[in-house]
Amino acid sequence: MAYDLSVATARNPLIAITVFVAIAIATTALRFEARRMRKVPLAADDYLLLAALFCLFISVGDQYACVIAGGVGRHTVDVDPLDVVKTLKLILPFEALYGITLCLIKSSIICFYFRIFGNTRSFRISAYVVLAFIVCWALSVVLETFLLCRPVAYNWDTSIKGTCGDRNTVYVSAGALNVITDFMVMSLPVPHILTLQLKMKKKLGLLLMFSLGLFITIISIIRIKSLQVISFTDPTYTLPMGLLWTTLEPCLCIINANLPMVRTCLATYAPKAFGSTNDQTSRKTPLPGQSGSRSDPFDLIRDDRFGATDIKLGQIGTESRIHAGRRSQPLGDSDSERYLTKGDNHIHVGRSVDVESL
């Protein structure tokens, strides 16, 4: 039978997740719009994020099915026993999809890091180690989902002969390992940012940009707390918040992964609202040979350790340019950016790394 949404414990989690999924879709659309505007082809991190968004859609559909067809949000005594079985069956793929989705999102973020810091050998080694740890964690989540109770049917039919481990303890352990992977991913770029010869304010800005995932870690901890209250003697009533946080966490991860690209897109359409102070200043002071209405919208941070290394906030990846005077002409994509600059009649060669700004 179908259950309506008149019960708040069933209705409110669905409203919350629907709103955040809409935001995740919107930010993903802006991510690809930013790519289109810069005429940059899609990369591995984009495809991984699309795969994660697809898995999220399945998880949200699963959550809706648990509420409407499985009676989640109501006490078990008020739900048809066959519908309780539906719920217990549906939460198995739900938990497995949680691990797969987060693995895809974190892999996407690491691929994004590779485009910025991939030329550094120490970063590549540490990134591969973190990536391997994340994949192993995701595999463990999938395996424990289907092997915790044997046979699998014992998850929803305790009348048959079988055994089942402590599901709450296993879910909490997997959640704790997830928090560890969050910190591992966030810490990857930190040592490389600290070595840049930048003003402290600029360093703090970059660190903040790459540490936005700390908020997701808080969500992960809240999810662990919600799993501890699940009772399999009254599963339909104790599952709603666990289901909510299990879908909300990857949803917020997708939004967080899209934010750097979203800022670039919004800064183009609404520079006064989303552009930096430096952006606005550069628009007011045109460079020689440029009109007053057009200027480079990206803020340059100079690192002089290697002669002329520019970290360009507002872009991702690297590209080759030849600078003549104070203007530039793009030549094509490259792993590093070389400058032949004859501004004020001097020539130098340097590297440039492009980093998306806040």
The segment with the largest mean pLDDT, out of 16-25, 115-124, 150-159, 191-200, is 16-25
pLDDT the model gives residue 210: 67
pLDDT the model gives residue 325: 39
- Distance in angstroms (rounded) separating the CA atoms of residues 61 and 66: 9
Query: For the purposes of burial, counting CB atoms within 10 Å of the CB of 322, is it exposed (0-12), middle (13-18) or buried (19 or more)?
Result: middle
pLDDT band (50, 70, 90) for residue 274: low
Beta strands in the chain, from DSSP E residues, in sequence order:
149-150, 163-164, 299-303, 309-313, 319-324, 327-333, 352-355
pLDDT: is 153 or 280 the higher one? 153
Q: Which CATH fold topology does 8-262 show?
A: Rhopdopsin 7-helix transmembrane proteins (1.20.1070)
> Percent of the chain having pLDDT more than 70?
72
Q: What counts of helices (H) and strands (E) characterise the chain?
A: 12, 7
pLDDT the model gives residue 303: 42
- Distance in angstroms (rounded) separating the CA atoms of residues 42 and 103: 20
Q: Which residues contact 316 (CB under 8 A, 6 or more apart)?
A: 40, 112, 115, 116, 260, 261, 264, 354, 355, 356
Q: For residue 257, give the amino acid letter.
A: A
What are the residue ranges spanned by the domains of the chain?
A: 8-262, 273-355
> pTM for this structure?
0.75
Beta bridge partners of 302: 310
DSSP class of residue 19 equals H
Sign (positive/negative) of CA torsion 60, 252, 299, 306? Answer: negative
pLDDT band (50, 70, 90) for residue 272: low
- Distance in angstroms (rounded) separating the CA atoms of residues 175 and 99: 10
Question: Quick check: 308 pLDDT over 50?
Answer: no
pLDDT band (50, 70, 90) for residue 353: very low
Question: Quick check: 334 pLDDT over 50?
Answer: no
Sign (positive/negative) of CA torsion 57, 62, 68, 74? Answer: negative
Question: pLDDT tens, 207-221?
Answer: 776 677 778 888 899
- Distance in angstroms (rounded) separating the CA atoms of residues 190 and 188: 6
Strand order in the sheet with 352-355: 299-303, 309-313, 352-355
